[in-house]
Amino acid sequence: MRHGQTTLEYVYLVGVVAVALIATLVYIARAFQGNVRTHADELGEQYSPKNMSTSVTEASRVSLDDYVDANISTSRTTITTTISGQEKITKPLKSEGWH
């Protein structure tokens, strides 16, 4: 009889520990979400296609050099890409209403 009672006490103990862990996970999840929110707020205003104007220019140049010398043929290709531009916020992101 005592063996069954001990087993039942262990089951209760495991149940109480499980409930405590589940309750603690709620607070851990909220803390994590708050931390993510804090970091997102530190980034400031983000890109929005409706509220930004973008001007980007891309220029590429490719040159190919071939050398043939005494049965040895070598090639060298050079690719140069230049990207420049600007982004400008036309109106504040708060006007979108999803913040």
Does 96 map to a domain? Answer: no
Range of the domain at 55: 2-90
Does 66 map to a domain? Answer: yes
pLDDT band at 37 (very low <50, low <70, confident <90, very high): confident
The reported pTM is 0.35
Q: Is the pLDDT of residue 96 over 80?
A: no
Does 9 map to a domain? Answer: yes
Does 95 map to a domain? Answer: no
Structurally, how many domains does the chain consist of?
1
Task: Kindly write down the DSSP assignment for every residue of the chain, as one continuous string.
Answer: -HHHHHHHHHHHHHHHHHHHHHHHHHHHHHHHHHHHHHHHHHH-S---TTTEEEEEEEEEEEEEEEEEETTEEEEEEEEEEEEEEEEEESS-GGGGS--
Does 98 map to a domain? Answer: no
